């Protein structure tokens, strides 16, 4: 059973730590988690372990600690990490985040909104920015959108392009800034993108994502949560780099929506 942080009989400092954990997607009991100490510190977890006891109806265990255990680990950056497990599952709202998609028509959105540069790392960060700029210079068959939260802040980027298959749109660079991940923004943005894509191109039936074969193990689960399923086997594709890519598809709505929204202008 999931517990509501606000009604737990613990002090405000313990509740603040639990809110922070939940905000970063750490809310399930007995699941091994690892986080940077810039997210949650060892001292915060130590305090929670010592003061976050919760009364239970089990006479054999009348008090249960909010956190089962934690360990610290050194990292090359010097920032340090902590690994931990919760004893309780924290209640979360299972709903979509409220987002809007703001079309981008020119310029470099990564320069205008530098937080977008935290989405990808290494070569992928360079490719995402360069290809977005080229897309805006030659937009035929392509659209770029900023993902905007309900507070008006830009939290990510997404878009589509004409895929080789005449029945498909391709999902272009799609991501949410690192500090806002695990808040349902990505899922909500893809839902809205599918609606917009179908309204723009009623003849298109699916949204396609291509992912490198060596990253399927990491990306398969989140894309399935977004409604994508693998199609066929790996294909040879010289897209970003020569190699094998696995195709994933998500069905677009059967009919175009009337008065698509919310679309931030």
For residue 58, the model assigns a pLDDT of: 52
Q: Average the pLDDT over 6-14 and give the result.
A: 89
Of 212, 209, 215, 217, the C-alpha closest to 243 is: 212
pLDDT exceeds 50 at position 163? yes
Lowest mean pLDDT among 131-135, 155-159, 251-255: 251-255
175: which residues sit within 8 A by CB, 6+ positions away? 116, 119, 120, 128, 156, 157, 158, 186
For residue 136, the model assigns a pLDDT of: 95
Which secondary structure element, helix H or strand E, spans residue 191, and what is its range?
helix 185-200
Chain-wide mean pLDDT for the chain?
A: 84
Is 52:65 a contact under the CB 8 Å cutoff?
Answer: yes
For residue 106, with 0-12 CB atoms within 10 Å meaning exposed, 13-18 middle and 19 or more buried, which class applies? exposed
* pLDDT tens readout for residues 174-225: 999 876 776 788 989 999 999 999 999 999 999 999 988 988 988 899 899 8
For residue 92, the model assigns a pLDDT of: 61
pTM of the model: 0.62
Pull the structure tokens for residue 154. 């830009």
> Which domains are delineated in the chain?
2-90 (no CATH), 99-251 (3.40.630.30)
Of 102 and 96, the one with more pLDDT: 102
pLDDT exceeds 90 at position 144? yes
* Dist. CA 186–CA 179, nearest whole Å: 13
For residue 107, the model assigns a pLDDT of: 95
Report the share of the chain in percent with pLDDT over 90: 40
* pLDDT tens readout for residues 19-62: 888 777 788 888 888 888 888 899 999 999 999 887 655 555 44
């Amino acid at each position: 059973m999931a517990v509501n942080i606000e009604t737990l009989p613990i002090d405000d400092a313990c509740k603040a730590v639990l809110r922070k954990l939940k905000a970063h997607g750490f809310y399930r009991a007995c699941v091994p988690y690892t986080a940077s100490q810039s997210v949650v510190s060892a001292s915060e977890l130590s305090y929670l372990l010592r003061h976050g006891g919760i009364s239970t109806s089990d006479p054999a265990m009348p008090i249960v600690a909010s956190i089962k255990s934690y360990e610290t680990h050194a990292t090359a950056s010097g920032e340090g990490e902590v690994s931990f497990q919760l004893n309780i599952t924290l209640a979360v709202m299972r709903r979509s985040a409220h987002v809007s998609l703001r079309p981008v028509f020119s310029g470099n959105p990564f320069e205008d909104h530098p937080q977008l540069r935290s989405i990808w790392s290494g070569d992928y960060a360079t490719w995402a920015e360069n290809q977005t700029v080229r897309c805006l210079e030659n937009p035929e068959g392509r659209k770029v959108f900023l993902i905007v939260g309900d507070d008006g802040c830009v939290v990510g980027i997404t878009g589509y392009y004409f895929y080789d298959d005449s029945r498909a749109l391709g999902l272009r660079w799609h991501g949410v800034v690192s500090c806002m991940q695990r808040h349902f923004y990505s899922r909500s943005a893809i839902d809205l993108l599918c609606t917009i894509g179908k309204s723009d191109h009623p003849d298109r039936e699916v949204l396609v994502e291509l992912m490198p074969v060596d990253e399927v193990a990491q990306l398969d689960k989140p894309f399935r949560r977004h409604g994508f399923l693998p199609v066929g086997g790996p294909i040879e594709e010289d897209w970003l780099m020569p190699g094998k890519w696995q195709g994933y598809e998500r069905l677009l709505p059967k009919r175009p929506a009337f008065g698509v929204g919310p679309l931030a202008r």
